[in-house]
Amino acid sequence: MSRTRQHAIAAVGGAAAAVFAMFVALAQTHVIAVPYFTPIALQVDGLKEKYAAGETANFAVTANGYGSNCHSLEVEAMQDGQRASYYKKVDDCRFMTITHGQYNFTRSFDYGSEVMGKAGAYTVDITFKDLVDNREAHVTKMFEVEG
């Protein structure tokens, strides 16, 4: 194979890689709409920064994005290094018809005196995973309970 032909093949390959990288970058920044490349976005609504001891914390976790209908949600609240609350829901993909599409998943939580009975700093770690596409999002929120 001639040297000129090798350079031409390398140039075409490099250009194709650059175009694909730009396509993925534009999709992830939502400049263009390509559902598969839309990252999972986690949103936490209703969680305040400070609570009184025994007060109820009501908040909701929403996951938006594109992916499969088989996923998991894990929410763990820690108070000064000790687990105060734990929630985990994992779909069993073996017994589901897997479909792909846009999802808008919401789960509400109520933390009462059993969780927030002690004054201190609390950390809530939230992880949402798409179990088929192997993508995940994680967010950590902090709040304080004053005694």
CA distances for 139 relative to 26, 74, 76, 92, 111, angstroms = 23, 11, 11, 24, 18
Picking from 5-19, 58-72, 87-101, which range would have the lowest pLDDT averaged per residue?
Answer: 5-19
pLDDT the model gives residue 34: 55
H or E element in which residue 14 lies: helix 3-28
Across all residues in the chain, what is the average pLDDT? Answer: 84
With contact defined as beta carbons under 8 Å apart, do 23 and 33 qualify? no
DSSP secondary structure letter of residue 29: T
Please tell me whether residue 16 adopts helix, strand or coil conformation.
Answer: helix
Distance between CA 122 and CA 140 in Å, rounded?
10
- Rounded average pLDDT over 96-122: 88
pLDDT the model gives residue 110: 92
With contact defined as beta carbons under 8 Å apart, do 78 and 127 qualify? no
Beta bridge partners of 85: 77
Residue that wins the pLDDT comparison between 35 and 86: 86
Whether the per-residue pLDDT at 18 is higher than 80: the answer is no
- DSSP-based helix, strand, coil % in the chain, nearest 5: 25, 50, 25
Reference 108, options 41, 47, 50; nearest CA is 47
pLDDT the model gives residue 35: 59
Q: What is the pLDDT of residues 25-56, one digit of tens each?
A: 655 555 455 555 677 899 999 999 999 988 89
